[in-house]
Amino acid sequence: MADNYTDTTDQDFTTGNYNIATGKNLSAAGVRNALHTKENVANKTVTVDSSSTDAQYPSAKAVYGTVNTGLSAKQNKIAAGIANDIVAYSGTAGTFGTLTRTTTLETNATSASDDKIPTEKAVATALDDKESTSNKATSISDTNKDDAVKYPTIGAVTTWAESTSNKATSIIDTNKSDTTKYPTIGAVTAWADNAKQDKLTAAQLTLLDSLSTLSFFPKGTILPITSMAWDEASTEFKKVWKICDGAAGSGTINLVGKFIRGGAYADYGTTGGTDTAQVPRHAHKHKHADHTGELHSDSPGTARGGAPLYGSGVFTSYTKSMWSSESSDNISGSAVNFKASHNEDETYAGVENADNRPVFYTLIFIQKVV
């Protein structure tokens, strides 16, 4: 028998259950065992489908056909894409997508995009702005309270800020004004529950009623009010207050079209004035200053002729007459000292009406009657 009963690709058949070797007798069992290490041609199949089993082995053609059919819908090769883009799942079976590389990170979620992927440097730059956990301090103590690098946690700040010696678990008269202590939530809740009022007392209801109707004013009080405010006043308010129109049974005085005038206690209730808008008869004095006449004289002279010289009139007076060819001394005359004055009352009553009231705005007067 030949020596080559096995090679490097076969199982070693020279020992064990086979004993197929030079100088050894072949046994049916050894040959059978050796043959059982090979595929049974009965298990060969030329089709691969969902009915195939693990006991079968396909032919090369069957494998090629199945694989080729499965790959036909796949991308044959990766597309060249854009430089620096990153290959990513496209969402469609058998194809690739790409993510755009970005070297900067957005500062908020609105601007950020799921279609981009940052570079390592972009991530490192963004992280440089964040605190390092190595600088985190979970407690504040005398040794680190002035450290400008470390940052404390909320718990550390709370514990440091809240000194238990200043904590008040209840609010009472002896500490309610203490500005150094801080109350717990339970203390505030308990204090508020004890201090709250479930319902108004009778006195408080009376006070509210007096506020809504102004009943705290004494009876007889008079107040101005707009007509709009009066229209919007409640029924209860109008039981306490009435318009000052002097209506029968209202208990009010009539102030319609009237001004209120201050006076002494004894003057209460007096009335006066008139609605007549006319300037009354009145007088104006008129006086002139005195006017005085002047004194005049003429120089000496001679009058010739047959007619005498004489004077007449209010302001002229001569003392001598002369005749023809008569000479005389001075002829003199004097003026009358005349005075005139005027001092007389002139009266006038106009026929046109005149309103002497200042600019005004009309309001309603109301009076408290109960």
**Taking the chain, what is the end-to-end CA distance rounded to the nearest angstrom?**
145
Structure tokens at 271: 């009335």
Instruction: Say which residue, 101 or 237, is predicted with more confidence.
Output: 237
Q: Enumerate the β-bridge partners of residue 152.
A: 137
In which element (H, E) is residue 39 found?
Answer: none
What is the rounded distance in angstroms from the CA atom of residue 206 to the CA atom of residue 218?
A: 16
Work out the burial of residue 185: count CB atoms within 10 Å of its CB; fewer than 13 is exposed, 13-18 middle, 19 or more buried: exposed
Q: What pLDDT is recorded for position 303?
A: 47
Q: How would residue 230 be classed by pLDDT, with cut points 50, 70 and 90?
A: very high
pLDDT one-digit tens code per residue, 233-263: 999 999 999 999 999 999 999 999 998 888 8
Residue 359, Cβ neighbours under 10 Å: how many?
Answer: 4
Helix, strand or coil, per DSSP, at residue 40: coil
Residue type, 367: Q
Contact 195, 342 (CB under 8 A): no
Contact 333, 311 (CB under 8 A): yes
Q: What pLDDT is recorded for position 114?
A: 78
Contact 281, 349 (CB under 8 A): yes
Q: Give how far the C-alpha of residue 139 lies from the chain's centroid of Cα atoms, to the nearest Å.
A: 40
pLDDT one-digit tens code per residue, 287-339: 666 555 555 555 444 444 444 544 444 545 545 555 445 555 445 555 455 55
What is the rounded distance in angstroms from the CA atom of residue 362 to the CA atom of residue 369?
A: 22
Contact 4, 12 (CB under 8 A): no
What is the rounded distance in angstroms from the CA atom of residue 47 to the CA atom of residue 63?
A: 8
Given a cut of 80, whether residue 181 has pLDDT beyond it is: yes
Residue 137, Cβ neighbours under 10 Å: how many?
Answer: 17
Q: If you write DSSP's letter for every residue of 51-70 in order, what string do you get?
A: T--TT-EE-HHHHHHHHHHH
In terms of average pLDDT, the best of 118-127, 156-165, 262-271, 348-357 is 262-271
Q: Kindly state the DSSP code that residue 309 receives in the 8-state scheme.
A: P
Q: If you write DSSP's letter for every residue of 197-236 in order, what string do you get?
A: -SS--HHHHHHHHHHHHTTTSPTT-EEEE-HHHHHHS-HH
Phi, psi of 348 (to 5 degrees): -150, 135
